[in-house]
Amino acid sequence: MTERIVAAAICMHENKLVLSLPQPARHCDVQQAAARLGLVILGVHEQGFLTSTGRFVRRAPARLIATEADQLIRKPISHTFTTEEVW
């Protein structure tokens, strides 16, 4: 089975906590959900994606995975891979 992009995610590097929400959530939705739960996203963190295997991947590798899985619904709108390209 081909690995796919399944969720927007944010990885907080200090404690390796990965927060995510399934599609069609955007990264801002993940941040808002964290705030509602009282979680503060501080320090070094990175927006990325979760794959169907549960891996957190950065934006560039996520675009490659989505391309190989034929998930792209539109051409890239910038150098930064976004959720708008897949859902």
Residue 44: DSSP 8-state: S
- The total of structural domains in the chain comes to 1
At residue 82, the 3 state secondary structure works out as: coil
In the numeric block, the tokens 């996520």 are attached to: 62
pLDDT digits (tens, 9 = 90+) for 13-26: 888 899 999 999 99
Tokens of 12: 């907080």
pTM: 0.91
pLDDT digits (tens, 9 = 90+) for 27-75: 999 999 999 999 887 778 999 999 999 999 999 999 999 999 999 999 8
The whole domain housing 64 covers 5-85
Residue 14 exposed, middle or buried by CB count within 10 Å (0-12, 13-18, 19+): exposed
pLDDT at 59: 96
